[in-house]
Amino acid sequence: MKVLVPVKRVVDYNVKVRVKSDNTGVDIANVKMSMNPFCEIAVEEAVRLKEKGIATEIVAVSAGVAQCQETLRNAMAIGADRGILIETDAELQPLAVAKLLKAVVEREQPRLVILGKQAIDDDANQTGQMLAALLGWGQATFASKVEIDGGVARVTCEVDGGLETVLVNLPAIVTTDLRLNEPRYATLPNIMKAKKKPLETVKPVDLGVDVTPRLTVLRVEEPPKRQGGIKVPDVATLIEKLRNEAKVI
Amino acid sequence: MRCLVIAEHDNQSLKAATLNVVSAAAAIGGEIHVLVAGENAAGAAQAAASVAGVAKVLHADGPAHAHRLPENAAAQVVANAAGYTHILAPATAYGKALAPRVAALLDVAQVSDILKVVDADTFVRPIYAGNAYATVKSSDGVKVITVRGTAFAAAATTGGSATIETVAAVADTGTTRFVSAEIVKSERPELTAARIVVTGGRGLGSGENYQKIIIPLADKLGAAIGASRAAVDAGYVPNDYQVGQTGKIVAPDLYVAVGVSGAIQHLAGMKDSKVIVAINKDPDAPIFSVADYGLVADLFEAVPELTAKL
């Protein structure tokens, strides 16, 4: 079974982003870029399915600027077999990405697409669900456990207040949550091997997709700062303040 | 303008988050309708009809909605979407699974996790784990939106007298089957709806200490219990306790952070709380920069003392 894993290049999760002084966005010039952590979990899950003999081929796909090649090489170093870059300098929003991925799915015919639940830059949490809708497939979101049994995926999903298990007919979409797995580190030999794996580049126009943004960002600003209060010397003072000053207990 | 609010409910009653979404719809303006898609969900439909500000309830009842699968719910929303300028859902696990599906079927963008309504087309939402707020304007004819509950006051559960219109329930799409749910049953208030929240962090050192230190204080305060991502990753408590950008967003009247350092992703989940108390032995912990009352102390002594004296 072929598995498709879309991966996104984002500002590294350790970088504290700064809002640009003209409020047009956040400053991402000269900051470290990495694969979105939830996408890494998706690649790892696909590789584990391959190690179990369930997945036969893993295709990583990324949409964006030329440097997304690095993200695809990273996915291949973890264990993806080949990569597809949908190259564009245009701003891509989730609906456009879902349409691009739909075109790739129609060409590649995977039985399973595993995506990160959200990217840590725009925090949209949309692409997987949108892709499922466009394909008319079932979806299992925020997965913490995935088992494939014949034509069905049995997925445990994180929901408010606990867990929910669903059976989704293949082909299907799974989006990953944090606890699904712990991605492995790419070893040096695997990083070297990844450089030789096939990487194909296509353009959105080749896929017949209009990627025009539907949302316009008017302004980006720092969130309002919360002012720190006071330090209290002991528990008795804390209780006194909560009772008489804050009046919350 | 006309808003359709997708209710999250358990067939008998509305989930609290639905009430915050009604308020967001009120901020947009126009008539507010609520869609209740469930099985034997007359109770929830009745509850929705009583919510202040709701003009009409669309009640779709059928086996396809027994477990509120997003595939069927999205099909239901699309079947009833005509005439609405805005479709809103809570930014909960349910709403987040559903809303993008609806948007894609309608070929429109989705605006996630809004904090504020600027006007009917323009909304403020957090990006980069809440480190920046973006004001975004939608050019689509229909706006599909998820709403961060803590950013909007809950609409009153009484005062409304909406008409309830029964609409045909969609057939099961058949792609997905519900197997089971493991929902933790608890006498405690729900984390996102609680008036007081007590949260434990890695400073506790173990799951046993979480039970020994956090639970008695929460019991005394009648509080919901939460945890930092570090405490969840260390295995002290399950993931659904997690407060933060990748967990639950809370804004209670009182938030007590015990042994929590205050990583940015944690602060993103609780900094809108009315009063924040931090107890930590490290005087330089970032949590103190947002705390109204900070107590620099060994939590193993201070928290039992606090519990005893309350």
Nearest CB to A223; choose among B133, B138, B175:
B133
Domain boundary (B167, B183, B210) is at B167
Q: Is A223 on the interface with B (CB under 8 A)?
A: yes
The chain A residue lying nearest B243, using CA atoms, is A160
| pLDDT value, residue A14 | 85
Is B100 in contact with A127 (Cβ distance < 8 A)? Answer: yes
Q: Please check whether residue B110 lies inside any domain of the structure.
A: yes
Q: Is A139 on the interface with B (CB under 8 A)?
A: yes
- Banded model confidence at residue A241, pLDDT cuts 50, 70, 90: very high
- Banded model confidence at residue A162, pLDDT cuts 50, 70, 90: confident
What is the SS3 assignment for A98?
Answer: helix
Q: Which residues of B touch A234 (CB under 8 A)?
A: 295, 297
Q: Which residues of B191-203 are buried (b: 16+ CB within 10 A; e: fewer)?
A: bbbbebbbbbbbb
Query: For testing the chain A interface, which of B68, B106, B127, B306 should be mutated: the one with the most A CBs within 10 Å?
Result: B127
Bridge partner list, A113: A4, A173
Q: Are B248 and B242 in contact (CB under 8 A)?
A: yes
CATH number for B258: 3.40.50.1220
Q: Are residues B99 and B150 in the same domain?
A: yes
Pairing assessment for the beta strands A82-87 and B31-38 based on DSSP bridges: unpaired
Instruction: Name residues whose C-beta falls within 8 Å of residue A49's C-beta, 6 or more positions apart in sequence.
Output: A3, A55, A112, A146, A148
Q: Please check whether residue B286 lies inside any domain of the structure.
A: yes
Is B175 in contact with A138 (Cβ distance < 8 A)? Answer: yes
Q: What tokens appear for A176 in the block?
A: 């990953």
Q: Are residues B150 and B258 in the same domain?
A: no
Q: Are residues B162 and B195 in the same domain?
A: no
Q: Are residues B19 and B149 in the same domain?
A: yes
Q: How many Cβ pairs closer than 8 A exist between chain A and B?
A: 245
CA–CA separation, B3 vs B85, rounded Å?
6
The chain B residue lying nearest A219, using CA atoms, is B135
Q: Please check whether residue B177 lies inside any domain of the structure.
A: no
Q: Is A19 on the interface with B (CB under 8 A)?
A: yes
Is B127 in contact with A122 (Cβ distance < 8 A)? Answer: yes
Please state the domain count of chain B.
2
State how far Cα B253 lies from the chain centre: 16
CA–CA separation, A140 vs A167, rounded Å?
8
Is A124 in contact with B110 (Cβ distance < 8 A)? Answer: yes
Q: Are residues B155 and B12 in the same domain?
A: yes
Q: How many helices (H) and strands (E) does chain A have?
A: 6, 13
Query: How close A130 comes to chain B (CA, Å)?
Result: 5
Helix (H), strand (E) at residue A33: strand A33-35
Q: Please check whether residue B178 lies inside any domain of the structure.
A: no
What is the SS3 assignment for A19?
Answer: strand
Q: Is B184 on the interface with A (CB under 8 A)?
A: yes
Q: Are B61 and B39 in contact (CB under 8 A)?
A: yes
Cα A46–Cα B103–Cα A210 angle in degrees, nearest 5: 80
Is A215 in contact with B127 (Cβ distance < 8 A)? Answer: no
Q: Please check whether residue B127 lies inside any domain of the structure.
A: yes
Cα B272–Cα A94–Cα A75 angle in degrees, nearest 5: 100
CATH number for B163: 3.40.50.620
Q: What tokens appear for B62 in the block?
A: 């059928």
Query: For testing the chain B interface, which of A21, A142, A155, A160 should be mutated: the one with the most B CBs within 10 Å?
Result: A160
Helix (H), strand (E) at residue A147: strand A138-149
Does the pLDDT at position A193 exceed 80?
yes
Does the pLDDT at position A115 exceed 80?
yes
From the list A151, A114, A150, the residue with the least C-alpha distance to A38 is A114
The chain B residue lying nearest A14, using CA atoms, is B264
Q: Is B129 on the interface with A (CB under 8 A)?
A: yes
The chain B residue lying nearest A26, using CA atoms, is B132
Pairing assessment for the beta strands A138-149 and A172-176 based on DSSP bridges: parallel
Instruction: Name residues whose C-beta falls within 8 Å of residue A213's C-beta, 6 or more positions apart in sequence.
Output: A91, A92, A93, A96, B109
What is the SS3 assignment for A50?
Answer: helix
Cα B110–Cα B112–Cα B115 angle in degrees, nearest 5: 130
| pLDDT value, residue B240 | 85
| pLDDT value, residue B229 | 92
Cα B207–Cα B209–Cα B212 angle in degrees, nearest 5: 115
Q: Are residues B155 and B269 in the same domain?
A: no
Q: pLDDT digit string (tens) for A28-47?
A: 999 999 999 999 999 999 99
From residue B90, how far is each of A49, A216, B17, B118 by CA, in Å?
34, 22, 6, 18
| pLDDT value, residue A178 | 87
User: H/E/C letters for each residue in chain B?
Assistant: CEEEEECCECCCCECHHHHHHHHHHHHHCCEEEEEEEECCCHHHHHHHHHCCCCCEEEEEECHHHCCCCHHHHHHHHHHCCCCCCEEEEECCHHHHHHHHHHHHHHCCCEEEEECEEEECCEEEEEEHHHCEEEEEEECCCCEEEEECHHHCCCCCCCCCCCEEEEECCCCCCCCEEEEEEEECCCCCCCHHHCCEEEEECHHHCCHHHHHHHHHHHHHHHCCEEEECHHHHHCCCCCHHHEECCCCECCCCCEEEEECCCCCHHHHHHHCCCCEEEEEECCCCCHHHHCCCEEEECCHHHHHHHHHHHC
Q: What tokens appear for B98 in the block?
A: 């559903």
Q: Which residues of A touch B291 (CB under 8 A)?
A: 228-229
Is B296 in contact with A130 (Cβ distance < 8 A)? Answer: no
Q: Are A116 and A129 in contact (CB under 8 A)?
A: no
Q: Please check whether residue B182 lies inside any domain of the structure.
A: no
Q: Are residues B132 and B234 in the same domain?
A: no
What is the SS3 assignment for A57?
Answer: strand
Peptide bond into A171 cis (omega under 30): yes
Q: Is B288 on the interface with A (CB under 8 A)?
A: yes
Domain that holds residue B279: 191-309
Q: What tokens appear for A163 in the block?
A: 């867990």
Q: Are residues B163 and B223 in the same domain?
A: no
| pLDDT value, residue B183 | 83
CA–CA separation, A105 vs A99, rounded Å?
10
From residue A94, how far is each of A48, A67, A114, B109 by CA, in Å?
27, 19, 15, 8
Q: Please check whether residue B57 lies inside any domain of the structure.
A: yes
What is the SS3 assignment for A133?
Answer: helix
Specify burial of residue A239 (Cβ count, 10 A radius: 0-12, 13-18, 19+). Answer: middle
User: pLDDT per position in chain B (310 positions), as tens?
Assistant: 999 999 999 999 999 999 999 999 999 999 999 999 999 999 999 999 999 999 999 999 999 999 999 999 999 999 999 999 999 999 999 999 999 999 999 999 999 999 999 999 999 999 998 889 999 999 999 999 999 998 999 999 999 999 999 999 999 999 999 999 998 777 888 888 899 999 999 999 999 999 999 999 999 999 999 999 999 989 999 888 999 977 888 999 999 999 999 998 899 899 989 999 999 999 999 999 999 999 999 999 999 999 999 9
Q: Are residues B150 and B195 in the same domain?
A: no
Q: Is A57 on the interface with B (CB under 8 A)?
A: no
Q: If you compute the radius of gyration of chain B from its CA atoms, what whole number of angstroms results?
A: 21
Q: Are A174 and A143 in contact (CB under 8 A)?
A: yes
Residue numbers of B between 250 and 279 with CB closer than 8 Å to A: 253-254, 264, 271, 274-277
Q: Are residues B160 and B197 in the same domain?
A: no
Q: Are residues B230 and B144 in the same domain?
A: no
Q: Which residues of A touch B245 (CB under 8 A)?
A: 123
Q: Please check whether residue B262 lies inside any domain of the structure.
A: yes
Q: Are residues B145 and B218 in the same domain?
A: no
| pLDDT value, residue B101 | 98
Q: pLDDT digit string (tens) for A79-105?
A: 999 999 999 999 999 999 999 999 999
Mean pLDDT of chain A: 96
User: What is chain A's length?
Assistant: 249
Query: What are the DSSP calls for A154-211, one per residue?
Result: EEEEEETTEEEEEEEESSEEEEE-GGG--PPPPPHHHHHHHTTS-EEEE-GGGGT---
CA–CA separation, B201 vs A122, rounded Å?
27
| pLDDT value, residue B104 | 98
Q: Which residues of B touch A130 (CB under 8 A)?
A: 100-101, 103-104, 110
